[in-house]
Structure 1
């Protein structure tokens, strides 16, 4: 749908321009979808509430929450309202795109001050429209067909759902996650669009550990603006043999501390490996410190284990890689002096490893009658020789330029 709006006069402030564009678009969509909107019954209880008296006096009809026993119809209604809201936000941000800038202090791999993009993984017109769509849609369906010129536009655009931050009333909320953390360093971040300046930047967040209700945490520069990239650790291998598999957690002894508690302790708040790259580094650290075991992220699918015949160094990598000159042609990934020892299924997206003698003792503690061969077969494990009493391992999972070449190194 092509949206045409009459831009406010150039003498108006950016805030007034923003609010005028948004309210005009909401009114336009409200009238274009009148039949659908007016088929949604009013919520009489909300309509009679003093909280919405100013809206009702202006002609608003409070239609949310929906009163309908048919869940399928309610879901369809919510979907249509969300789509309407997304179109409104998309049209708004497209109109203002040339004026909006983003500065996230290096978080989520952002570099300096950048323009607003149409699509991106985190902050873009597409992502913001997805996050705000339902709220803006709900605020649209309660509007009357006409709005008086003197009605407060901020109240209009945030009639049911407040789309502005509770702590920073000039900041438009852009994300809707319960925990919004930098995908690299794990810091909690609160990106808002300042409607006075049309700048997207990071704002302070409530300090939930403080006894003060007004304590805030100021945003900091990201410690890993390009990601954590490759990371390493070491385990003891006195047997000079290593067992490698996708998942060895089944044989590990019980531990007094849980891995998620360990990671959360590093961040001072609840945190898991799905929330940031740095959490994966701490996850690896936990298994080294508490189990003398390797646990590193390597990706999905499967990986091949190649070992250098002379140095015994191991590379975990795809058996074949894409030819850089021909995407439809694969090249064998092994080097001339390497032996292909086997393949590891990556259902866990990880590689685990431990000293062979340690593995034997743990398996016997679980079931003394069971053979070690049956354990390695069940776990899809590969047993290799290593050189030293200490073996270093490196994950390249967060160094995407190496993913096609090598996922991990051992030794």
Structure 2
């Protein structure tokens, strides 16, 4: 029986995730050894050891999530407890939050820092999937099926944006959009929802202009991300707003096809301060070349596409939307991170899934993969049982 259960999991995704995590651990060590000593005065393996500890816990939590029936998350009490807990933590940040990178987004717990915004991503996925999964019969009723969950979504995004962490808030909105599109809503209803969203966005923008807080929202730092994107190698730009992107592109260019060799990066010596988090893909490109980048992006792309395929096969609306949300979360973060470090889009400070240093991000990603695997397992088991019943009913 236990053997049949384990066979029902999706091993291609499991093996790919394991490979990415182990590869990421190696690259965290390589990319952070200089930063650990020069900036923080710690041992070279400081970030490596912290990431290793987080990875062990993340693998354990993934296995737990693979066992717990995903249907439990759809219960009203569980949803209320989860969402009230997330909102509570987001409010708590404003009182005991730790500021880093210009955003008050972390809560210190002992020697570690937890980022509630990361946990909000999975909470929103579960919440929206549960609501839209239950309300399939009224999915095109905007006031009954859409307004309540959208209100909760906007509250979460507003609390995160105030920190300010616009990157995470934007990602959550994109994840929510992917779930809504996959929910079975008609094109007419989607059009209405889009129109309402544009009106709300216009009202919020007008309110910001009237209140005089426009300069705070559109700060010099945020505008510089766009100006740095246009001319990163300009003699004036490269000293300030184009510094990170210019050095990221230099890293990719130096690595070429085969790379300089593992551990031989030059850009990690202070040229890319966030070399082990936001710009770890640039270090991979420098040390392992095009081959290393293709491996990482190919493996991440496989997980995303495989997740969408499995979601399409799932007969349960809740389970299907869960997999769509989880796959979208990974895909969106990959695009934003890779696009930022390559100059395709402005840099937003989003980590690369399974690769970048970050305990909160890794924990949420691994729990998400565990939930996805649980949906796959139960869908496969259900399909197997139906097949057995069908075979028994076939006359000999």
Query: What TM-score do you get using the length of structure 1 for normalisation?
Result: 0.22
In our comparison, the structure showing a higher alpha carbon Rg is: 1
Higher helix proportion (structure 1 or 2): 2
Question: Larger relative contact order (C-alpha < 8 A, sep ≥ 6)?
Answer: 2
Higher strand proportion (structure 1 or 2): 1
